[in-house]
Structure 1
Amino acid sequence: MEQSCNYKQLQKGANEATETFNRGISEFIVMTADAEPLEIILHLPLLCEDKDMPYMFVCSKQALGWACWVSRPVIASCSVTIKEGSQLKQQIQSVQQSIERLLV
């Protein structure tokens, strides 16, 4: 998460995550378990499962905020995006495989 933020491959917030997903440039989605109201992110797991997109939950908004290098909590979710020629491609693929193993 931190490195993807440095390489400008991180979109924060439920609207941005949904937008990157709909555009097809999202690698995986990270959501918070304590999102309030929960309706903000309820559509994301359904979309991800329909399109076989890896997704995961973290325990808190504060933890996701720290991982995204933001001083305040990230509201609900974030998306790591595709960037041609990125140096993070192998790390992103490793995270995707780890998420897929957890979902099985």
Structure 2
Amino acid sequence: MSQEAVNPKAYPLADAQLAQSIQELINQAANYKQLKKGANEATKTLNRGIAEFVVMAADAEPLEILLHLPLLAEDKNVPYVFVPSMQALGRACGVTRPVIACSVTSNEGSNLKDPINKLKIAIEKLLI
């Protein structure tokens, strides 16, 4: 998908390299049961305060169905990012269907703590 075809409301958009590392971490989080898939589940994790970061698909149609997530994430001081493809996000989540949003949840004593923190810093740099 080309950069021009992406809705300008989908900000901040991860570049190809960051999107790849985000998808790898999402795949690991799915294995560790630290992943919630879908806009509704992501909203719940933000409201409960257990979301580490939120990933949304920039090609969701219409995009407005998940534009409440950045507002909620900013209220809760949770980093968020858009990736270009919901199909790729679905594969990273370990399902065959496209996924428009997901959130990686916190878990004490998890092996993913360091990679999650590194990725959170990279996502926060996009927001600056």
Distance 1:4 1:24 in 2: 17
Among candidates 49, 58, 61, match of residue 83 of structure 2: 58
- Contact 2:39 2:101 (C-alpha < 8 Å) held by counterparts: yes
- TM-score relative to the length of structure 2: 0.77
Q: Equivalent residue of 1:72, what SS?
A: coil
Q: Which amino acid aligns with 1:90?
A: D
Residue 81 of structure 1 is matched in structure 2 by: 105
Aligned length in residues: 103
Among candidates 38, 42, 46, match of residue 67 of structure 2: 42
- TM-score relative to the length of structure 1: 0.94
- Contact 2:54 2:104 (C-alpha < 8 Å) held by counterparts: yes
Q: Which amino acid aligns with 1:77?
A: A
Distance 1:34 1:77 in 2: 11
Distance 1:61 1:89 in 2: 25
Task: Please report how far the alpha carbon of residue 22 of structure 1 lies from its aligned counterpart in structure 2 after TM superposition.
Answer: 0.2
- Contact 2:51 2:106 (C-alpha < 8 Å) held by counterparts: yes
Identity of aligned residues (%): 66
Task: Please report how far the alpha carbon of residue 12 of structure 1 lies from its aligned counterpart in structure 2 after TM superposition.
Answer: 0.2
The reply to whether residue 32 of structure 1 matches residue 57 of structure 2 is: yes
Q: Which amino acid aligns with 1:47?
A: L
Distance 1:19 1:37 in 2: 21
Q: Which amino acid aligns with 2:31?
A: N
- Contact 2:46 2:76 (C-alpha < 8 Å) held by counterparts: no
Q: Equivalent residue of 2:82, what SS?
A: strand
Which consecutive unaligned segments of at least 5 residues does structure 2 have? 1-25
Q: Which amino acid aligns with 2:66?
A: I
* CA RMSD, 1 decimal: 0.9
The reply to whether residue 18 of structure 1 matches residue 54 of structure 2 is: no
